[in-house]
Structure formats: C-alpha cells, structure tokens
Amino acid sequence: MSFNDLGLDAALVRAVQEKGYTQASPIQAQAIPAILKGSDLMAAAQTGTGKTAGFTLPLLHRLNLGKPVCSNRVRALVLTPTRELAAQVHDSVQTYGQHLRLHSAVVFGGVKINPQMMRLRRGADILVATPGRLLDLYEQNAIQFNDLEILVLDEADRMLDMGFITDIRKILALLPKQRQNLLFSATFSEEIRSLAKGLLKSPVEINVSPKNSTATAVEQIIYEVDKAKKTSLLAHLIKEQQWEQALVFSKTKHGADRLVRQLTSIGVVAAVIHGNKSQNQRTEALAGFKQGKVQILVATDIAARGIDIDQLPQVVNFDLPQVAEDYVHRIGRTGRAGAKGQAISLVCADEAKQLIDIEKLIKRKFQRQQVDGFEPEHNVPHTAPKQKPAPHNHSASPKANKSKVAGAKVLPIKPKASKNIKAAEPGNRAKSNRRPRSSGQRKTA
C-alpha cells in the first residue's frame, strides 16, 4: 500500500518520500489507519519491520491537528527501555516531522538532567523517554501530564524483562485516564497480555509475523568451533570474506571489551557498547558504526536495543544468547526491507543446549559447518546433554577447571587459509539477580 493512500498529512508523506520510501510495510499499513481513527492498539512486530514509523507518522498527524503544547506539558509520550532506542525513536520523530511545527524532546538517564529540564520548559508535543529518567523529571516538577493525549509503550516485552514494570505502573498512575494507548512488543507473551488488559480499551490487535519467526531473507549459518578459537575464527571471517560492517553480540560486558581489544590489535576498526560505557561513549560508538567509520560493533543484548542500521549485512552471535527468543531479536537486525543478510553463530560444545533451544523455538534444524583450520576438538552435540546426577558426598569440591580460554590470545591468521567450508559430522529467563534498590534510588536506562 502506498503512503499516499493511508490518509496522512501531505507534509508527512513528503518527508517519507524524501527518505526514499513509497510503499508502507505490513505493520505500517495496518497500524497507521487504526491509530488515525483514535483506536487503542496492541501490535506484535519484530525489529526491522518499520514499526517506529508505524506509530510516529500517525502520532505526528494527529498532534498537528490539535492545539500548541504548553510550557512543561507533553501531548504524546513514548516510553522505551533503553537510551539507544529512545534516541532512535526521537530521530524518527524529527525526520518525519521536519515539515511540521511540532516540538519534540528525548530524555534518558546517564547524562545530566538540567539540560533536559531546560528543554522541557517550552513543552513537547512528543516526548520520548526511558521510565526512570521520566519519573526523576516529574518529581522535580519539570514535566506535567495534564494535557497528555497519547501513550506509546515501545518494546514493552523488553521493558518487562529489564524490570521496569514498577516504574511503568507509577507512570500510568500519573496520566489522564482519557487517552489513546499504543503497545508494541516483539511477542504477545502472557506478561504482555496481562499488562495490556489493564492498559488498553478494546484494542485493535495486529500481528505482522508468526510468533518467534525469523526473516526469510536472512541466511543463518552455524560454525562449530572451540571456545578458545572463536576470536581467531571471527578475525578470519572478517578478513577472508571482506566484511564491511558487522554487529557482533557478546554475552558479557567484559567479554565484549576483550573482543574489541583483540580485534583492534590486528587492525580491525572495532567499537563496543554496553551498560558500563557512558552515554557519550555509547553514542559515539553507535554514530561511528552508522557512518561506516567503525567496521565491527560489539554489543551486549540490552545495549543493542534500538540499533537500527539500514542494509546491515552481517550479524554475528559470538556467544549464543541464554534465552532463545533473544536469537530472533538479534538476527532481526539484518535482512531488512527485502535486503539479503547473514546471521552467523560461532558455537562451541558448551553451547549445545542454547543451540537446541533455538532450533526448537524457530522449528528448524541447523546444518553445522566447520571452517578449514578451525575444526573443533569437540563437536557440538545434536541432542541436549544429559544432566549428571549430583554427587552424594556434598563436602567434596569439584576439581577446578584449569583451562583459561577466556584470556586466550588471538591466533595469527594463516595467509593461505582455505575458504572451503565443510559440513560437520554429527558429534558424540532465568530472572536476573538484581540488587535491591536503596531508598530514593531508581534504575535508569
């Protein structure tokens, strides 16, 4: 469906066309008319489906028809789980609203609050915010919700995963009861449906893709490799296949830092984003990646939310995620808008359970492959390993694992390494522990 047929303001259609788009994606074609009618909405959409434009365009259209915003007031509020996603959504608001006389702002933690308070003095037609910083601003009388017309919960599933449910409930209690509510989530889990039941009124329900499906345009490749050789194999793939850009997922912050140091030492331009980095460092790394100055961006799952790169050719699971659903979110960042993409997973024998869980989730068996020169000593099992019974003598301590693969150095790349890849022979959420918050302390994204 063409954007001209959706009933949007001509200034918005012009902005969309200037971005090079003429046809709406499935989520946009269904969500935009429902939002324009004023209906509450519950939409399941994976990353890369165009959902951000699916709500920012009708939001801008509706607000453009109303009265100007007052000082320290907000007319539409978009809540997001992370700073990166908040910045990404705000960029979309500014891009599509460039020909309208509407004001927008974005607020999140990790940066000074005073400039954000100053910015809110003139009000915001659209405010994009993370929950913790929004509550901080409210408590300092920098924002009022009396004139709020529309609320958007973006990536609601991730907000629940990150423990924002208490903050979300506090925010909902502050908002006018008469408002339009839009909820976007990757899946309709029981937790999401429970949240929606108390939030939405007779919502239009949209599900643009089957639950836990992966994009058909994404080529999914599994390379078996020993844990100690993962970095060397990644470096080999980057050099041999001449990758221009790749997003690499690491399980831990320290692992991400270590990987970037190792890649940098062999001349690969790499950067990292995770929760221990300052907001300025994260913004700089992401900007360099988007501009093509950074070849490899290494990220943890939470920090990667909101990364939206057009035509991203490769996504790499350096470590498989502990939760199978996160695999779908990760690889959804490539193969967008009909473009081809690769999702490459470097899997060691210790990750057999995670791989099998992923196969069960997406209902697909992967062909395990090996790269010449990087054949593993231990193949990845095709069935989940059986749990060993606990020893009866509880006083006996298990032998310490003397292997120090985590600190292994990058192996030099053999100049004559073969590109040949051969099929491998078949080989012989939990809740995160969060510290209790002290009095007056709040988690910010």
Mean pLDDT for 352-367 is: 90
Is there a contact between 151 and 178 (Cβ–Cβ < 8 Å)? no
Across 21-25, 131-135, 168-172, 181-185, least confident range: 21-25
Mean pLDDT for 7-14 is: 95
Give exposure, 62-87, as e/b (b: 16+ Cβ within 10 Å): bbbeeeebeebbbbbbbbbbbbbbbb
| Mean pLDDT across the chain | 83
Residue 306 has pLDDT above 60, yes or no: no
Residue 63 has pLDDT above 90, yes or no: yes
User: Confidence class of residue 433 from pLDDT cuts 50, 70 and 90?
Assistant: very low
Q: What is the pLDDT of residue 412?
A: 47
Question: What is the Cα–Cα distance from 346 to 375, expressed in whole angstroms?
Answer: 12
Q: What is the pLDDT of residue 384?
A: 61
Length of the chain: 445
User: Confidence class of residue 194 from pLDDT cuts 50, 70 and 90?
Assistant: confident
265 to 41, 230, 236, 269, 281: CA distances (angstroms) = 49, 16, 14, 9, 20
Mean pLDDT for 229-235 is: 96
Question: What is the Cα–Cα distance from 99 to 12, expressed in whole angstroms?
Answer: 7
Residue 413 has pLDDT above 50, yes or no: no
- Tens of pLDDT, residue by residue over 197-216, are 889 999 999 987 555 555 56
Using a pLDDT cut of 90, give the percent of the chain over it.
53
User: Confidence class of residue 325 from pLDDT cuts 50, 70 and 90?
Assistant: confident
Question: What is the Cα–Cα distance from 341 to 324, expressed in whole angstroms?
Answer: 20
Question: What is the Cα–Cα distance from 22 to 66, expressed in whole angstroms?
Answer: 27
Continuous H helices in 51-113: 51-64, 83-96
Mean pLDDT for 4-32 is: 92
Residue 426 has pLDDT above 50, yes or no: no
Q: What is the pLDDT of residue 310?
A: 63
Mean pLDDT for 6-24 is: 92
Residue with the bigger pLDDT between 226 and 196: it is 226
Q: Is the Cα dihedral 440, 79, 181, 76 positive or negative?
A: positive
- Tens of pLDDT, residue by residue over 110-139, are 899 999 999 999 999 999 999 999 999 999
**Is residue 90 exposed (0-12), middle (13-18) or buried (19+ Cβ within 10 Å)?**
buried
Residue 416 has pLDDT above 70, yes or no: no
